[in-house]
Amino acid sequence: MRLVEDTWLAKRFGYPVFRIDLDPQKEAAPADNRLDLAPLQKDLRQFRPVFCYVKIGASRVDRVSEFTAIGFRVVETNITFLRKLPLPSGQPSLQDRQFRIEPVILSQHSQVLAVAESCFQYTRFHLDPVIPRRIADEIKREWIQSYLKKERGEVLWIARFGQDLAGFLAFLRQSENRGVVDLIGVAPQYRQRGVARALLQYCFQYCGERSLTVEAGTQAANIPSMHLYEGMGFLAQRSQYILHYHAAVGGADIRCA
Ligand SMILES: CC(C)(COP(=O)(O)OP(=O)(O)OC[C@H]1O[C@@H](n2cnc3c(N)ncnc32)[C@H](O)[C@@H]1OP(=O)(O)O)[C@@H](O)C(=O)NCCC(=O)NCCS
């Protein structure tokens, strides 16, 4: 088990943030190997305030109990989907022909950031009752900002309706033969008109031409996106509980409601 500083998230929160990396071999073993969490508690006590998170395989309820016993709380269950090759070929179709899909250009930057910072409600940051909505929204805005600054990702496609930006899909390359739908979002007023489906079709076309399988992750609570991925032929591959730990100045653990 390793405690790793998350400097990107720390910038958003304004205080130290850590990720716990669990040993994959121990996590795959039968559910009877306990972790010694005392050193972790000692390390975390050095920082106030502090935010720490860990991802635990959904079958390891025993592990979840160990972490909740020291103040961590489950905030989300994450599902990873995979769409294998061959990907559907042919021209992506839009239910509403007035939409266009294209890679983002400079003049659309502020619009795509505005959609990114306002369209999410089920991310682990939005679901965690301890995290202010302002910070959860800013995390998504900065995530897309990192695409615009070319610090992260491979392509950022946008869907537009005239001059209005309706949605986006941020795509990154995870390995030589795997791409990832890093983030997808559609502005509320343009939902359920086929925009996300069309964005995924563009992504499939791009990945098909490069022989890439496509991975996507979402939250079990996010029924619209679960339906979206199921409807586009993705199959669930992995599920993980996401746990958060918060401690405030003064030493008290911040308990989720
Ligand atoms: C999830 C999201 C991207 C879907 O975008 P959208 O443009 O409305 O989706 P589409 O119109 O292309 O719909 C495609 C499929 O998604 C599913 N879907 C979309 N909205 C849904 C809803 N409110 N409830 C249930 N299923 C829904 C349906 O299966 C739909 O297919 P159908 O029209 O044949 O029934 C959109 O709701 C959104 O931006 N949500 C907030 C951001 C987010 O949660 N992103 C995913 C995080 S990983």
Name the residue range of residue 194's domain. 82-237
- The answer to whether the pTM exceeds 0.85 is yes
Ligand 1 centroid to Cα of residue 192, in Å, is: 6
d(CA 183, CA 36): 35
Shortest-distance atom of ligand 1 to CA 197 = 12
Least reliable range by pLDDT among 86-100, 145-159, 234-248: 86-100
pLDDT at 94: 59
Whether 114 and 231 map to the same domain: the answer is yes
Whether 17 and 101 map to the same domain: the answer is no
Q: How far apart are the first and last CA of the chain?
A: 28
Task: Tokens 């003064």: give the residue.
Answer: 250
Ligand 1 centroid to Cα of residue 120, in Å, is: 12
DSSP β-bridge partners for residue 240: 57, 78
Whether 209 and 152 map to the same domain: the answer is yes
Total count of domains within the chain: 2
Pocket (CB within 6 angstroms of ligand 1): 119-120, 122, 184-186, 191-197, 218, 222-225, 227-228, 231
- pLDDT exceeds 60 at position 254: no
Mean of the per-residue pLDDT values for the chain? 92
Whether 93 and 210 map to the same domain: the answer is yes
* CATH code of 156's domain: 3.40.630.30
Ligand 1 centroid to Cα of residue 60, in Å, is: 30
Whether 121 and 231 map to the same domain: the answer is yes
Under DSSP, the state recorded for 149 is T
Whether 91 and 141 map to the same domain: the answer is yes
Question: φ, ψ for residue 183 (rounded to 5)?
Answer: -155, 140
d(CA 134, CA 117): 9
Whether 104 and 216 map to the same domain: the answer is yes
Query: What mean pLDDT is predicted for residues 90-115?
Result: 84
pLDDT per residue over 208-218, tens digit each? 999 999 999 99
d(CA 101, CA 119): 18
* CATH code of 245's domain: 3.40.630
- pLDDT exceeds 60 at position 251: no
- pLDDT exceeds 90 at position 89: no
Ligand 1 centroid to Cα of residue 165, in Å, is: 16
In sequence order, the 6+-apart residues with CB closer than 8 A to the CB of 213 are 82, 83, 84, 85, 177, 178, 179, 207
Ligand 1 centroid to Cα of residue 243, in Å, is: 26
- pLDDT exceeds 50 at position 256: no
Alpha helices in the chain (DSSP H): 7-13, 24-28, 38-45, 61-68, 109-116, 124-127, 133-148, 195-209, 223-231
- pLDDT exceeds 60 at position 252: no
Residue by residue, DSSP assigns 155-213 as EEEEEEETTEEEEEEEEEEEETTEEEEEEEEE-GGGTTSSHHHHHHHHHHHHHHHTT-E
Contact call for residues 196 and 167 (beta carbons, < 8 A): yes
pLDDT at 255: 47
User: What is the number of residues in the chain?
Assistant: 257
In this structure, which residue's CA is closest to atom 22 in ligand 1?
224
Shortest-distance atom of ligand 1 to CA 200 = 12
d(CA 39, CA 228): 42
pLDDT per residue over 58-85, tens digit each? 999 999 999 999 999 999 999 999 998 8
Residue 123 burial (C-beta neighbours within 10 Å; 0-12, 13-18, 19+): buried
- pLDDT exceeds 90 at position 3: yes
**Band of residue 29 on the pLDDT scale cut at 50, 70, 90:** confident
Whether 57 and 142 map to the same domain: the answer is no
